[in-house]
Copies of this chain bind each other. A is one copy, B any other.
Amino acid sequence: MSDLQTIPARRGKAVPLKRGEAIKIVNTHGHQVVDFWSFVAGHLTEFSGMEQCRATWLKLCPEVGDHLYSNHRRPLMTLEEDTSPGRHDSVMAPCDNERYGLLGCNGYHDNCKDNMHAALFELGYSVPFTPGSLNLFMNIPWQPDGSLSFDPPLSKPGDYVVWRAEIDCIAVMSCCPQDILDINNRNTVEAHYEVLTQ
């Protein structure tokens, strides 16, 4: 009984989840990064905090069984399944229009920051800040000297993750429109999601 919904290419979606429900996020074409956030329902100043996650994970990247922690250190969600090679990124900011300016773009460029705000706004919500994102399927390897690079994706078509809500929350996803660096193979496409009940 699949009920796959589309996250359009270069756009975002926000989805309310009740505690116990889960969201399956599918990398349909295999090379699309999906920026991901979670906000506590009714209390949007509490949200997924990457720097808080890393302090408890004791690693740069989550694995199955790990929680997504809030900026108040509460577990918001649990990573229940991950069929990808497990390379997700917690250290890079969601892209924004200023970023594309620095990369040489003139004029407006679609970006994950604006997608996040637009997706929340579709549900009637507005927040005056942009939390760091967990960048699903984004391949940012780290080297022994600490250097980082924006590399092509390691995931394959149909790879997915499942995040189970530990509290009523709003999941926000953005199909990253980055078409200058290699993280989406310079081919930005749609992804899909499905809400799973318990």
A interface with B by C-beta (< 8 Å): 45, 49-52, 54-61, 71-74, 91-93, 96, 98-99, 101-102, 128-130, 132, 142, 144-149
* Contact yes or no, B55 A146, CB < 8 A: no
B145 to A91, Cβ gap below 8 A? Answer: no
Q: What residues on B are CB-neighbors of A55 within 8 Å?
A: 92-93, 99
User: Which residues does chain B contribute within 8 Å of A93, judged by CB atoms?
Assistant: 49, 51-52, 54-55, 71
Determine the chain B residues whose CB is within 8 A of the CB of A145 once the complex forms. Answer: 59
Q: Enumerate 28 A-B pairs (CB-CB under 8 Å) in ascending A order.
A: A45-B128, A50-B51, A50-B132, A51-B91, A51-B92, A54-B92, A55-B93, A56-B102, A57-B148, A58-B147, A58-B148, A58-B149, A59-B145, A59-B146, A59-B148, A60-B91, A60-B142, A60-B148, A61-B146, A71-B93, A71-B130, A72-B98, A73-B99, A73-B102, A129-B129, A132-B132, A142-B142, A144-B144
